[in-house]
Amino acid sequence: MRAEDRTAISLGALGLGSNAVALSVPQLWPHINWIIWFSIFCLGTAIFSGSVLFLIYEHILKSQMSALLWRRAVYGAILLSVIGGISYYTLLPPPPQPLSLRDIYLTDFAGLGKSFAKFDIKDQSHPDSDAVRVDMRKLYNHEINAYFLAFFVPFSRKITDMSAYDACSYIVQNYVTLVQQYLPKAKMDAESPGDSDWMRDRDLKFTGRIYLYVEGQISAEQIGQLTTAARKEDVYLQMRSSEYHSLHWNDEWRREPAKVERQR
């Protein structure tokens, strides 16, 4: 092989190694085992280092360096690459865990007042079935004299007799009773500095807006059915499930508030 060909191959390998190192950043692989990106990093570093050493040897040291010394230099470069990769992984902080849909539910509407409750929904046709534990929030916007509701319907492998659609349908049909039963004493008055009077909880009007955060499987057809049923009850339903989760699972600003909210 001619010297020009060896140089061209080395330059190509140099670019390949650089790309591999660039692709080994853990933040690009948040959902895979660290061994995969670490292996890419080690391979890219080894290719890059070997290419640089070969170019130096080919164009500068070929006449001055023995084959044995050259091999030792290559092996040493690979060893240093592996050691450097291990050190890099050891010192690197672990990548953040993806936020759950519940974390997103807890941190949405951060500037509004909230009251909380939990309740169980059971499939009436299967009295002995496991219950679905649902989170409920009443969210207050005193500035516009209104409130609205949000519910979180979790996914559980233990729940076999009630689907996410059934739980959502129950909430839409019974939201008034649920608020009266589980949030009867939740009152939140507000007053801003300089205001002439308090903004009373009892004066707030329900906007008709209900947000349903759903972890389980629910189809577009079922969402359409729920929306239609909700409109008959003068409710404006907003579903937030896997698509909404995919857009917000890595919102950095939510991480600390989510930790606080989970402890409530």
Of 111, 67, 133, 56, which Cα lies nearest the Cα of 257?
111
Q: Is the pLDDT assigned to residue 242 strictly greater than 60?
A: yes
* Per-residue pLDDT reduced to its tens digit, 181-235: 988 776 777 766 766 677 777 788 999 999 999 988 888 898 999 999 999 888 9
Neighbours of 59 (CB within 10 A): 11
pLDDT of residue 137: 93
Of 57, 61, 76, which Cα lies nearest the Cα of 7?
57
Which pLDDT band holds residue 47 (cuts at 50, 70, 90)? Answer: confident
pLDDT of residue 41: 75
Least confident of 1-10, 195-204, 250-259: 1-10
Its pTM stands at: 0.65
Q: Is the pLDDT assigned to residue 7 strictly greater than 80?
A: no
* Mean of per-residue pLDDT scores for the chain: 79
CA quadruple 12, 13, 18, 23: dihedral, nearest 10: 100
* Per-residue pLDDT reduced to its tens digit, 90-140: 776 776 788 999 999 999 998 888 888 999 887 666 666 677 889 999 999
